Amino acid sequence: MNAVVVSRRQFLKASTAVGGGLILEFSLANEAFAQPQGAEVTHWVEIHPDDRVVIMIARSEMGQGSLTGLAQLVAEELDCDWSKVSYEFVSPNEHIRRKRIWGSMSTGGSAGVRTSQEYLRKSGAAAREMLVAAAATQWEAQVADCSAASSWITHNPTGKKLSYGQVAAAAANLQTPKDVKLRDPKDWKIAGKPMKRLELADKVTGKPIFGVDVVLPGMLYASVAQCPVFLGKVKSVDSAEAEKMRGVKGVVKAGNFVAVVADNWWRANQALKKVNVQWDEGEYGKASDETIMASFREGLAATGLPTARVTGDTQAALASAAKVVEAEYYSPYMSHATMEPMTGTAWFKDDGTLDVWTSTQNAEASMAAASEASGLPLDKVEVHKTMLGGGFGRRGAPQDFVTQCVTIAKQFPGKPVKMLWSREEDMQHGFYRPASLVRMRGGLDEKGNVLALHTTVACPSILALLRPEGIDKGIDFTAVRSLSDMTYTIPHQRVEYAMRNGHVPVGFWRAPGLQNAFYRECFIDELAHAAGKDPLEFRLAMLKDGDKNRLVLQAAAKAAGWGEALPAGVFRGIAQADGFGSYTAQVAEVSVKDGAIKVHRIVLAIDSGYVVNPDTCRAQGEGNVIFNLGSLTEGHTIKDGRIAESNFHDFRLPNITQMPPKVEVVLVPTGGFWGGHGEPGALCLVPAVLNAVFAATGKRVRKLPLKDGDVRKA
């Protein structure tokens, strides 16, 4: 096994020898280069003679804290000294060469921790057993007489000690045990604790850790302009003036974009403005919000739509209901707006290999994109994964930024080229949260119980664009989530899906499908009001005993003091939904003045089964709150086939003034399952706030974004 470690090291050293900047910084900050070499005890755990533990990380770190949580799980079972832990990102090239030994490199769906926790914990436990066995061999003692804790192995009868570093090389030569016992989370000492992020120091001192920070010798810089109308392409380019500008090295024309390459990004971008491009806008140059809405309306009116859920006889039940409530809800397209725009650096080296540095949620997908765009086989390609300046789903399934940077750099063999999108390009060339129009019809019986719920969803399909093999009988599960799988015990339910794919690219936006939680939970509130019942009691009556949604709803209500008196002018709203493996509920306290919503307090309860790091989990709750408060007041407009908004002056991200003074994240893990944290906290914010807005004003907000942020204009 050691041989492989050496080969990875040799590769990294080769990279550093020719590189500077980021690679060198990376090596100093994160990678263990000190001699002698560390030993790869298991493929996740490398231990150095000085007891330093390097934990391999296959997933990406984009702010959610997965990196640290993953390392905590390994370190917990390894039982090492946490202060000696550092990390190293897995090389995707080596990963593929070693038959994908590190499992999935994809980071999304709040799945980084929950879908790898078992093999990581087992690997840590196996490494601990191997270290103990190596020490026992050295002492010529029985393994049963030895124990391990905090990077030391003790021979219990004599009290003799050996450190992990002292036996790591011997341990690495042992068989990896298959059956290992994992600790009860009740006994965790490292996992489950609020450990500081392993990369925290780098992030408060401005270390060059992001994709955009790559510095390589002789590096060139590219700025890109893509056809503003989606699916359009370049018709003609006059770059004569641009090519004469200072520092410009060349102009690349390819398919749907033009790039200027220069010796400085600002120069490249200035020159790009002087390139006269004629675009072939294709057939969508006239598309607009109106044409898209018309296609959704046609979808809602269509018959014979695919069904995502059929329980009982909804039509008959609605016909016999004592009261029927009907409403239509709408959400706009939304961009991810990661603070770090799309970027990638590609370098076609003289030896026929290609290196790419990029902020990616899926380094293996980046490998595939780089291989395809370069025409090089995978073994000639390496992707160096950096920290991401935000991901939220933009940098996973779509790897357009990798394809583009490789396509550009291919024209400059031997030279590293760093491609960076302007904010305008980033905002106008995303893979947007789909706009959607949903009609809901609910029937109540004489006692005000919900008898039937009929929902029709009209929206573009993310899977149709990015993972068509995932469509099942006309259903994209991300388009009907929170409706097709809700646990309310409504006897008659029907969910239909009108897939109406437009030309605007759609993608996974933090908590894909969360618009449905907004619609559902606001509509349930409408039904509660129509039934004259308390919104909390109304929901609880529809959730079975033992349903974790019920428990988390009660936890949120209790923490928020549901039913207790509030200051004058402040009103509460409540919502619950599960998703991404976790159960969540939120209570919002809101006042409305002159049409403007002020959120005073959010209580967010979440049951993720287990909690691997309470601090980063709370941070995810806090972040999800403000991320989604922004969606009350912002959304994209489609005009002339393009995104009308271009930068943060006309697409306003939520700012500090909108952060509620109180955001309380209540962690109530009940055990027995592993849920996520990056997205579930997003689900209930909008409906909880809008239900509170209704309580405050009597006004139902069913269409977002709010024009001018004004409830009165809803």
Partner 1 sequence: MVKLIVNGRAVSVDVEPEMPLLWVLRDELKMEGTKFGCGIAQCGACTVLVDGQAVRSCVVPASTVAGKRIVTIEGLAEKGLTKVQQAWTDHDVPQCGYCQSGMIMAATALLAKKPDPTDAEIDAAMTNLCRCGTYARVRKAIHAAAGQAVAPAPAPVEAPNGQKI
Q: Binding segment for partner 1 among 121-129, 620-628, 636-644, 692-700 (CB under 8 A)?
A: 620-628
Q: Does 614 bind partner 1 (CB under 8 A)?
A: yes
As given in the structure block, the two tokens for residue 155 are 């021979």
Nearer to partner 1 (CB atom), residue 64 or residue 697: 64
Nearer to partner 1 (CB atom), residue 532 or residue 672: 672
- For the CB of residue 337, give the shortest distance to partner 1 in the complex, in Å: 6
Q: Does 183 bind partner 1 (CB under 8 A)?
A: no
**Rounded Cα distance, 461 and 662, in Å:** 36
Q: Is the dihedral of CA 580, 586, 591, 592 positive or negative?
A: positive
3-state secondary structure at position 688: helix
Q: Does 328 bind partner 1 (CB under 8 A)?
A: no
As given in the structure block, the two tokens for residue 17 are 């020898």
Among 243, 667, 709, 714, binds partner 1 (CB under 8 A): 667
Q: Does 63 bind partner 1 (CB under 8 A)?
A: yes
- For the CB of residue 550, give the shortest distance to partner 1 in the complex, in Å: 13
Q: What is the DSSP letter of 196?
A: P
Query: What is the phi/psi pair of residue 267, to 5°?
Result: -65, -40
Query: Between 130 and 159, how does the x/- string for binding to partner 1 read (CB under 8 A)?
Result: ------------------------------
Q: Is the dihedral of CA 243, 245, 247, 252 positive or negative?
A: negative
Query: Between 65 and 84, how does the x/- string for binding to partner 1 read (CB under 8 A)?
Result: x-------------------
For residues 151 and 51, is the Cβ–Cβ distance under 8 A?
yes
Q: What is the DSSP letter of 176?
A: P
For residues 652 and 634, is the Cβ–Cβ distance under 8 A?
yes
- For the CB of residue 487, give the shortest distance to partner 1 in the complex, in Å: 19
Task: Tell which positions 583-612 bind partner 1, by CB under 8 A.
Answer: 607, 609-611
Report how far apart the first and last C-alpha atoms of the chain are (Å, whole number).
64
With CB under 8 A as the rule, give the number of residues binding partner 1: 84
CA dist 454 → 451, 475, 598, 667 (Å): 10, 16, 33, 33
- For the CB of residue 313, give the shortest distance to partner 1 in the complex, in Å: 39
Among 6, 200, 240, 302, binds partner 1 (CB under 8 A): 200
Q: Does 626 bind partner 1 (CB under 8 A)?
A: yes
Please tell me the total number of residues recorded for the chain in this structure.
714
Nearer to partner 1 (CB atom), residue 21 or residue 474: 21
Nearer to partner 1 (CB atom), residue 220 or residue 368: 220
Q: What is the DSSP letter of 69?
A: H
CA dist 55 → 46, 58, 120, 163 (Å): 6, 10, 10, 17
Q: Does 624 bind partner 1 (CB under 8 A)?
A: yes
Q: Is the dihedral of CA 677, 683, 686, 688 positive or negative?
A: negative
Q: Does 644 bind partner 1 (CB under 8 A)?
A: no
Helices 66-78 and 117-139: angle between axes, nearest 10 degrees: 30
Q: Which of these, 632, 633, 693, 624, lies nearest to 663 by C-alpha position?
A: 624
Among 116, 338, 362, 366, binds partner 1 (CB under 8 A): 338
Among 35, 175, 205, 303, binds partner 1 (CB under 8 A): 205
- For the CB of residue 501, give the shortest distance to partner 1 in the complex, in Å: 27
- For the CB of residue 667, give the shortest distance to partner 1 in the complex, in Å: 6
**Rounded Cα distance, 431 and 532, in Å:** 42
Among 330, 401, 627, 674, binds partner 1 (CB under 8 A): 627
Q: Can you say how many angstroms the Cα of residue 238 is from the centroid of all Cα atoms in its chain? A: 40
Task: Tell which positions 376-405 bind partner 1, by CB under 8 A.
Answer: 387-392
Q: What is the DSSP letter of 142?
A: -
For residues 318 and 668, is the Cβ–Cβ distance under 8 A?
no
Q: Exposed (0-12), middle (13-18) or buried (19+): which is 416, by Cβ within 10 Å?
A: buried
Helical H segments across 483-547, by residue range: 514-531, 535-540
Task: Tell which positions 509-568 bind partner 1, by CB under 8 A.
Answer: 551
Q: Does 413 bind partner 1 (CB under 8 A)?
A: no
Task: Tell which positions 230-289 bind partner 1, by CB under 8 A.
Answer: 246, 263-267
Among 76, 77, 129, 340, binds partner 1 (CB under 8 A): 340
- For the CB of residue 653, give the shortest distance to partner 1 in the complex, in Å: 5
- For the CB of residue 218, give the shortest distance to partner 1 in the complex, in Å: 12
**Rounded Cα distance, 683 and 624, in Å:** 9
Task: Tell which positions 301-320 bind partner 1, by CB under 8 A.
Answer: none
Q: Does 201 bind partner 1 (CB under 8 A)?
A: yes
Among 422, 449, 631, 633, binds partner 1 (CB under 8 A): 422
Among 17, 204, 565, 568, binds partner 1 (CB under 8 A): 204
Nearer to partner 1 (CB atom), residue 42 or residue 66: 66
Nearer to partner 1 (CB atom), residue 28 or residue 653: 653
Q: Does 18 bind partner 1 (CB under 8 A)?
A: no
Q: Does 709 bind partner 1 (CB under 8 A)?
A: no
Among 77, 81, 88, 199, binds partner 1 (CB under 8 A): 199
- For the CB of residue 648, give the shortest distance to partner 1 in the complex, in Å: 4
As given in the structure block, the two tokens for residue 411 are 């024209």
Q: Does 217 bind partner 1 (CB under 8 A)?
A: no
Nearer to partner 1 (CB atom), residue 264 or residue 291: 264
Task: Name 558's Cβ contacts closer than 8 Å, sequence gap at least 6.
Answer: none
**Rounded Cα distance, 257 and 234, in Å:** 6
Among 26, 102, 152, 210, binds partner 1 (CB under 8 A): 210
Task: Please give the helix or strand (H or E) that residue 620 lies within, else none.
Answer: helix 614-633
The 3 state secondary structure assigned to 332-399 is CCECCCCCCCCEEEEEECCCCCEEEEECCCEHHHHHHHHHHHHCCCHHHEEEEECECCCCCCCCCCCC
- For the CB of residue 465, give the shortest distance to partner 1 in the complex, in Å: 23
- For the CB of residue 222, give the shortest distance to partner 1 in the complex, in Å: 12
**Rounded Cα distance, 542 and 539, in Å:** 5
Q: Does 647 bind partner 1 (CB under 8 A)?
A: yes
